[in-house]
Amino acid sequence: MKFDKKYYDGWHDNKDSDLTNKLKYEAVLNLIDKEPILDVGCGSCNFLKICKDENIEAQGIDFSKKAVELAKKEKLKVKIGDAEKIPFKNNIFATVTLLDVLEHVYSPRNALDEVHRVLKPQGELIIVIPNSFSIRTIILGPDKSEEHINKFDYFTIRPFIENCGFKVKKIQGLSRFPFGAFSSALLIKAEVIK
């Protein structure tokens, strides 16, 4: 990941209470039909809290010690870990989520290789990423966030994921308005090929 841990520690105080995040988590849960789940880069653990409330077997990893400490206070299963070096054995998760993570890692290819490794055969990958070719970026200009070191859009994400050993089953826009391929974020579901 690009910035030091102090930078990301601030994100863990975020309660994700706005409508966009609630819609995101609802859309993600609607795509998941296999457990157990690993949430890579779980951050403030809000997705894991929802899973716990819904009796869904899930755990997470984050490279921030603060995230792990907060998770343990909430009685959530979270380990210190990095998307590019997931601290689990091969073939143990049915679903892995990367929710607003792939744009932050140094090597998205290495991250997806690690996800591929820990997924069971026919396991599923769920990704949420900002869309670098959205209505917003068309009107306001490109995303200049320093923490977004990787840019993907509706047209580039499918070949990238499929070149990493997955079969994309669904890509949809994720925003308050139905902009499809031009939505501010994209939600992707893919199946591992082993």
What per-residue confidence (pLDDT) applies to 20? 64
Q: Which domain holds residue 142?
A: 5-11+19-192
Per the prediction, the chain carries an average pLDDT of 85
For residue range 112-157, list pLDDT tens digits in order. Answer: 999 999 999 999 999 999 887 666 666 766 666 667 678 888 899 9
CATH number at residue 151: 3.40.50.150
The Cα–Cα gap between 31 and 186 comes to 13
Whether 157 contacts 138, CB under 8 Å: no
Strand order across the beta sheet in which 166-174 lies = 78-80, 58-62, 37-40, 93-99, 119-130, 185-192, 166-174
What per-residue confidence (pLDDT) applies to 134? 67
Please count the other Cβ atoms lying within 10 Å of the Cβ belonging to residue 65. Answer: 12
- Residue 160 pLDDT more than 70? yes
Q: Which of 190, 187, 189, 143 is nearest to 21 (CA)?
A: 187
Count structural domains, the chain.
Answer: 1
Instruction: Work out whether the CA dihedral 14, 115, 148, 31 comes out positive or negative.
Output: negative
Please count the other Cβ atoms lying within 10 Å of the Cβ belonging to residue 148. Answer: 18
Overall pTM > 0.75: yes
Question: Mean pLDDT, to the nearest integer, of 159-178?
Answer: 88
